[in-house]
Homo-oligomer: A and B are copies of this chain.
């Protein structure tokens, strides 16, 4: 790990620039700072007041422009909605130094890689795509914390152009935040995340919207309990961020939704036919799978 290699007066990252200082970017900065792995943290964002709050909380040392970030940072982390990343990388590019490493935290990878190739051109080797899998229904710098990534998985989808050193450096930094690092292709990442992240968000949002739009929604919501709370929690997430995710991973999400709908139709049919055994079997398979995962994941 880089903390082991770093000299006492030489942190693993001299200057870190976080583009988008919210839960994800802010927690990465906080995690590095908490173990002395970063010298100076620059923040870039659309809203001056958010950056000022992040500065007051000690997440960043200074709010800067994209140009300043590109010129000064040793490591740049893009923690914005995925739809904005191509534009941001294009703005960074003319000011980048050769030794600067760039990464991201986007929930989709193929679209981000395509946007990065278009934006960075011959500098693409400096960009190592990543996705830390950590909760994001709380938003803003106030939600950031130094332990968010402890025990969580971070997926790297390295490019053929990336050097082993660049990939290793990023792996070391994430492991230093307490995360487990896995590597896969952007396409494999996107298919799996469509299934276990994007489709649940889509379904939770559809369901929440349907209940809220009902004529008797007040009565319904007054009788909603802890199961409803858990099932709909992710629907509170950032509309902008999730719109970008769905658009960026559209084909995989639509395809996975077809699979879920086929399974739904089968379960509905068992209910329609009052097939108690069929219902029980379907519910039992789901319950056993969920309990097994819950015991193994360390998440519940």
Contact = CB atoms under 8 A, between A and B. Distances in A.
Q: Classify the secondary structure of A's interface with B.
A: helix
A276 interface: yes
Interface residues of A, number: 91
Given A197-B228, A254-B271, A206 B263 contact: yes
A35 interface: no
Most B C-beta atoms less than 10 A away, residue of A253, A260, A272, A279: A279
Number of copies: 2
B207 A220 contact: no
Interface stretch (A86-94, A163-171, A231-239): A231-239
Contacts of A235: 286-287, 289-290
A223 B192 contact: yes
Nearest to A272: B254
A133 B280 contact: no
Interface of A: 133-137, 152-153, 155, 182, 189, 192-193, 195-197, 199-214, 216-217, 219-240, 242-243, 246-247, 250, 253-254, 257, 259-261, 263-264, 267-268, 271-272, 274, 276, 279-280, 282-287, 289-291, 293-294, 296-297, 299-300
